Amino acid sequence: MKVINQLKMEFLSLPANVAFARVAVAAFASQLDFTLNDLEEIKVAVSEAVANAIVHGYENSPTGIVRVLVTLLETGVEIRVEDNGKGIADVKKALEPAYSTDPERMGLGFVFMQSFMDRLHVDSSPARGTRITMIKNINNRGAAAASQGGH
C-alpha cells in the first residue's frame, strides 16, 4: 500500500487534548475522499481511543504521553493511538460491550471504535501500555450511504 501522507503527534494525557486530537486527525484525513459522515465517525473513534489512554491507561494523570500516528493510504486511513500506561490485562474482555474497569463509565469506547472503523486491533500488556490501530477505508460505507441519498 502506498503511503500518501503521514502525521505524528505527541501530547500530554490531558482531557483537553481529546478534542484537539479528534479535530487534528479529521482535518488531516480530509485530504482523502471521505464523506462528512466518515470524518465524523473518525472523530468519534479517535476521541474514544485518546480518552481511553488518558482515563484508563494513565488513570487521569496529566504526565503521561499519548502518541498518535495517522497514515493516509490510497485505500483509506490508518490511525494508531499509543500510551505507556497501565495496559489492559484482558483485551478480549475489554472489547465486550458495556465492559469497563471504571463503574462511572459506560464501557462503549471500543464498541464505537469497532462500529465506526473498518478494522480495529488492540495490542496491550499490563504495565507496558496499549496500542490501538484503527483503519477506515474510503468509499466502504460512504459509497453505500451516498447511494441511499445520505452523506
**CA pair distance 96, 18, nearest whole angstrom:** 23
Does 52 qualify as catalytic in the annotation?
A: yes
Task: Map grid coordinates 500518501 to a residue.
Answer: 4
Does 48 qualify as catalytic in the annotation?
A: yes
What are the CA-CA distances from residue 115 to residues 14, 38, 85, 97, 123 (Å)?
A: 26, 12, 25, 11, 18
- Catalytic residue, candidates 41, 48, 78, 82: 48
Residue by residue, DSSP assigns 119-145 as EEEEEEETTTEEEEEEEEETTSHHHHH
- Catalytic residue, candidates 37, 40, 67, 105: 105
Does 105 qualify as catalytic in the annotation?
A: yes
- Catalytic residue, candidates 17, 22, 41, 52: 52
Q: Any idea which residues carry the catalytic annotation? A: 48, 52, 105
